[in-house]
C-alpha cells in the first residue's frame, strides 16, 4: 500500500470539530445541544450583503484577478482608511477566507524550518497552517490569572533565535477574547524592529470591542510599514462565515508581490463572494452598534453565570465573542465528550471546545474550555444551568 506523506501524518486534526461525531450521536438520541463550541454567530448577515447576492446579473461566472477585483479592493481600501490604516488598493490581496490569507502569509514570510512566535492559547488552526507551510510554531504562554495578557517582552526575547522570522497575534483574541492595549502593541513594535521580524496581525474580530475599549492595529504604529501583515476576513464582521472571502494587507511591496505569486497559483477568489463583500462595506454603523450591544449583553450573561458556578473562574474579555474558563475537572477533553455522551439535563446538554486544542505546549489547558457566546441570552442561561448541574455530577470533578 502506498504511504501517506509525512506532512499529511503530521497535519493536526481540528480540535474544535473532533467532538462532532459525539454531538451527532447525541442529536440522534434526541438531545438538544447548546453549541458553544464554535464561532458560528447566530447574528443575521447584513441585508445589504444578501441583496447583493440576490441581485447578481452576470452572464458568465468568470475568473477574477488573482489579487481580487479592482472594485472590491478599492472599496476595501475605503473601509480600512476610515480606520486610519493609510493604504491603497494595491496593498490588498483578496483571499479565499482568512485561512488562506494566513497560509499565504506564512509561505511568503518564512522559509521551511523557520520559526514564528505566537502567544498561546491561540486559534487551533494556526498549527495546521504552519504545518502546511513547513513553519515551526514557538508558543509563548499567556495565563488565565491575568486574563491572558501579552506575555512580558523578556519572555519573547528568550525564544528568539537565528531561526525566528515572525511574531503572530490575534487581536481581539480567539480563543480568549483578550484585547491588546496600545502599550502592549508598542512593545511588540520595538521588538520586531530590534530583531527585524514580521508582525502578523489576525484582525478577524476587529469590530467587536467592548466597554468603550479602543482597538489598536500594528498598522497604527509608526516604523512598522515593512514589518506588518494584516490578516482579515468578512466571516465574523458581517456574520458571513460561508462567504469565504478574506484578505492580506501589507505595505511591504516585495512581500506583497511574493504573496501574489502564491495567489496566482490558486487562480482566484470567488466572484460572488467579492460582490457580497463589496456591498458589505456600506453596512450602516447602526448594524455594528446593535451587534456590539448584543454581544456585550451575552458576554456579561455568560461570564457572570460562569463565575457564579462553584469552582469556575472566567476572566472578562475585552473583545471577540469567546471566553476561556477554568473548570473544576480532571481533563477537559474527557469532560466535553462526557457532556455529549453521558450527561443530560431535561434532555439537554452543552457542547464546548476543550482548551487543550488551543495550546501548542503539551499538558496545558487540561482544566480549561473555550465557550463562544454566539447564542441568544435565553439559550446561554439554559446552557449555564446544564453546565452547573453537569459539574456537580461529573465523575472527574476535582473539588
Contact 233, 123 (CB under 8 A): no
How much is the average pLDDT of 311-320?
98
What is the CB-side half-sphere exposure of residue 219 using CA atoms within 13 A? 26
**DSSP-based three-state secondary structure for 169:** strand
Q: Is the pLDDT of residue 170 over 90?
A: yes
Q: Is the pLDDT of residue 16 over 80?
A: no
Task: Show Cβ contacts of residue 175 under 8 Å, excluding neighbours closer than 6 positions.
Answer: 121, 122, 123, 322, 324, 353, 355, 358, 370
- What pLDDT, in 10s, does the model give residues 316-362? 999 999 999 999 999 999 999 999 999 999 999 999 999 999 999 99
Residue 399 has pLDDT above 90, yes or no: no
3-state secondary structure of 43: coil
Confidence at residue 121, expressed as pLDDT on a 0 to 100 scale: 98
Q: What is the pLDDT of residues 65-78, one digit of tens each?
A: 999 999 999 999 99
pTM, rounded to two decimals: 0.96
Taking Cα atoms as reference points, which of 244, 277, 238, 239 lies closest to residue 71? Answer: 277
What are the tens digits of pLDDT across the range 380-391? 999 999 999 999
pLDDT exceeds cutoff 90 at 18: no
pLDDT band for position 247 (cuts 50, 70, 90): very high
Query: Which domains, from first to last, does the chain contain?
Result: 6-44+286-393 (3.90.1150.10), 47-280 (3.40.640.10)
Strands of the sheet with 246-249, listed across from one edge: 92-95, 246-249, 228-233, 198-202, 164-170, 115-120, 136-141
Amino acid at each position: 500500500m502506498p504511504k501517506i506523506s509525512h506532512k499529511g501524518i503530521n497535519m493536526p486534526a481540528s480540535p474544535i470539530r473532533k467532538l462532532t461525531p459525539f454531538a451527532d450521536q447525541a442529536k440522534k438520541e434526541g438531545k438538544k445541544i447548546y453549541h458553544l463550541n464554535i464561532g458560528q454567530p447566530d447574528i443575521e448577515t447584513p441585508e445589504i450583503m444578501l441583496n447583493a447576492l440576490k441581485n447578481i446579473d452576470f452572464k458568465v461566472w468568470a475568473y477574477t484577478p488573482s489579487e481580487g477585483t479592482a472594485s472590491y479592493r478599492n472599496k476595501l481600501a475605503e473601509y480600512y482608511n476610515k480606520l486610519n490604516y493609510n493604504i491603497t488598493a494595491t496593498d490588498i490581496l483578496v483571499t479565499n477566507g482568512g485561512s488562506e490569507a494566513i497560509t499565504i502569509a506564512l509561505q511568503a514570510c518564512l522559509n521551511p524550518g523557520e520559526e514564528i512566535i505566537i502567544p498561546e492559547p491561540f486559534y487551533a488552526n494556526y498549527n495546521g497552517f504552519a504545518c502546511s507551510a513547513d513553519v515551526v510554531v514557538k508558543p509563548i504562554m499567556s495565563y488565565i490569572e491575568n486574563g491572558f495578557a501579552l506575555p512580558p517582552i523578556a519572555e519573547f526575547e528568550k525564544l528568539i533565535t537565528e531561526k525566528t522570522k515572525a511574531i503572530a497575534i490575534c487581536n481581539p483574541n480567539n480563543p480568549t477574547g483578550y484585547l491588546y492595549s496600545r502599550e502592549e502593541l508598542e512593545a511588540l513594535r520595538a521588538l520586531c524592529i530590534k530583531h527585524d521580524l514580521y508582525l502578523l496581525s489576525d484582525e478577524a474580530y476587529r469590530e467587536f470591542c467592548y466597554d468603550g475599549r479602543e482597538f489598536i492595529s500594528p498598522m497604527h504604529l509608526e516604523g512598522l510599514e515593512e514589518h506588518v501583515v494584516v490578516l482579515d476576513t468578512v466571516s465574523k464582521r458581517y456574520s458571513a462565515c460561508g462567504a469565504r472571502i478574506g484578505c492580506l494587507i501589507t505595505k511591504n511591496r516585495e512581500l506583497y508581490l511574493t504573496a501574489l505569486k502564491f495567489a496566482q497559483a490558486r487562480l482566484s477568489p470567488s466572484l460572488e463572494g467579492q460582490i457580497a463583500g463589496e456591498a458589505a462595506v456600506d453596512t450602516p454603523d447602526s448594524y455594528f452598534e446593535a451587534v456590539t450591544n448584543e454581544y456585550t449583553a451575552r458576554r456579561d450573561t455568560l461570564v457572570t453565570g460562569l463565575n457564579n458556578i462553584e469552582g469556575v473562574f472566567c476572566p472578562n474579555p475585552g473583545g471577540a465573542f469567546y471566553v476561556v474558563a477554568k473548570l473544576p475537572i480532571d481533563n477537559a477533553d474527557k469532560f466535553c465528550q462526557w457532556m455529549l455522551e453521558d450527561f443530560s439535563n431535561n434532555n439537554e446538554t452543552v457542547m464546548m471546545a476543550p482548551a487543550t486544542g488551543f495550546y501548542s505546549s503539551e499538558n496545558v489547558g487540561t482544566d480549561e474550555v473555550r465557550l463562544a457566546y454566539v447564542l441568544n441570552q435565553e439559550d446561554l442561561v439554559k446552557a449555564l444551568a446544564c453546565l452547573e448541574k453537569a459539574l456537580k455530577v461529573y465523575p472527574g470533578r476535582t473539588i
